[in-house]
Amino acid sequence: MSERLSDSSDEALGRRLATDLPRYAAPARLRAAIVEAAAPPRPRRAFWLAPALSALATAAVLVLVFLPMLPRIPPADPTERLVRSVVAEHTRALMWGTRRAEIIPAALPWLTRESGIGLTRAFVGDDRLVFVGAEPVYLDGRRGMALYYRDGEGHLLTYMVLPAPGLPLPERRRVQVDRFKPALMQDSGFSAWVWRQGDLACFLVSDMVSQADLERFKDYFVRVRVATEPVPAY
Amino acid sequence: MATGDFERQALQHLDALYNFAMYLTRNPPEADDLVQETYLRAFRFSHRFQAGTHLRAWLFQILRNTFLTFYRLRERESALAEDGVPDWDVPMFHDAPDDTAGAMEAHTDLERAMHRLPEEFRTVLLLAEVEGMPLEEIARVMSCPVGTVKSRIFRAKERLRALLRDYETG
């Protein structure tokens, strides 16, 4: 150093301060910490969100568990209501079998007495449908009769007759099958042909719902329809 | 000024602020804390910053005020006598903290002399000569008139020369 700092001028001392004093650069971690502090805070999840989601999930599970146990609202339409009852009976027979299957025509007098319905002719099966049994039923406050058949592929068919004077058939559901025009209705994954014979309502229920099954179901309907003649017995 | 712009512009002065903090505290961890606190305050009160004014001066002012607040508090606490009565002889402008473990080591006489200057002299020299700030900005940082800044620069250099003379004469 040629000049003593203690003797230097104000300008010279100022220059030496600018050039000789070490400069300290901010460490990278400090810069990172400040940048992080400057970043907008992440949106905090609301404190109530987790318990609310948990409660919703629990409620959803409970609904799924208890939904099948809840009473179903019966349809306002009397035909649909009756179809639902018939399908429920068909389902019961499908799962548990008939209560007291009888063979016709031997049991016809007893069946007529119990159901209030007589059969002047009855379809007792053929090469496509095997007669399984017959029993009296009580549905929707009406006594009736059920005949069960099974086809070669194991489909159970339930033919049911119930007294239902003036039961309306939904026109838009009616299908021309051979020389008949029954209504094809669906309920709970089952198909049902519905038609009237006098004051009696007749049903043929099966789980044949696909388009391919439907043609066969039509054929079964014709077989049962032409060979069965129910009449009110009392 | 948009928040993002403000933060970006403020961060451009980080190195200068850290250098200033190092000369004030003479302790890297304390300088870290001081600078971080300065930026936190600046971000928190960014809405008070008037766009078009000197951001650099505003940041230096925050840093210095933060330093004085904390160090005055520390000095006041340590100045309490054993009987709990404050010692009224504590100087308004105090020297930097004494050498402690971890304190920055001075490598040259100039640096050593700077460390021994009272804070207001050290600050005025750092801002004027090292940062090259105009007198008006320094006046804002130190919250005093420009004439006072000039006077302090003069007195600071006189004091610095005296200290350097002591080192040179051994």
Distance between CA atoms of residues B129 and B20, nearest Å: 12
Query: Which of A1, A4, A9, A17 to probe the B interface (max B CBs under 10 A)?
Result: A17
| Contact yes or no for B36 and A34 at CB 8 A | yes
The pair phi, psi for residue A151, each rounded to 5°, is -95, -175
Can you tell me the mean pLDDT for A144-166? 92
Query: Token digits for A127?
Result: 């090469």
With H, G, I as helix, E, B as strand and everything else as coil, classify residue B62. helix
Among the partner residues B19, B110, B162, nearest to A16 by beta-carbon distance: B110
Res. B101 pLDDT band, cuts 50 70 90: very low
pLDDT in tens, A58-67: 999 998 888 7
CB atoms within 10 A of CB A107: 17
* Of residues A8, A17, A30, nearest to B36 (C-beta): A30
Residue pLDDT, tens place only, B5-28: 788 888 999 999 999 999 998 889
pTM of the complete model beyond 0.80: no
Tens digits of per-residue pLDDT, B32-82?
A: 999 999 999 998 888 777 766 788 999 999 999 999 887 766 666 555 444
Q: Which of B7, B16, B22 is nearest to B114 (CA)?
A: B22
For the segment A169-196, the average pLDDT, to the nearest whole number, is 93
Cβ–Cβ of B161/A7 closer than 8 Å?
yes
DSSP state of B86: B
Nearest to A199 by CA among A146, A142, A135, A136: A142
Nearest CB partner across the interface for B168, out of A4, A17, A24: A4
Q: Spell out which residues of chain B touch residue A15, defining contact as CB-CB under 8 Å.
A: 129
ipTM > 0.85? no
Instruction: Render pLDDT for A73-105 as a digit per residue (tens, 0 to 9).
Output: 667 788 999 999 999 999 988 888 766 667 777
A30·B22 Cβ contact <8 A: no
Distance from CA of B32 to the nearest CA of A (A): 7
Are residues A14 and B132, on separate chains, in Cβ contact within 8 Å? no
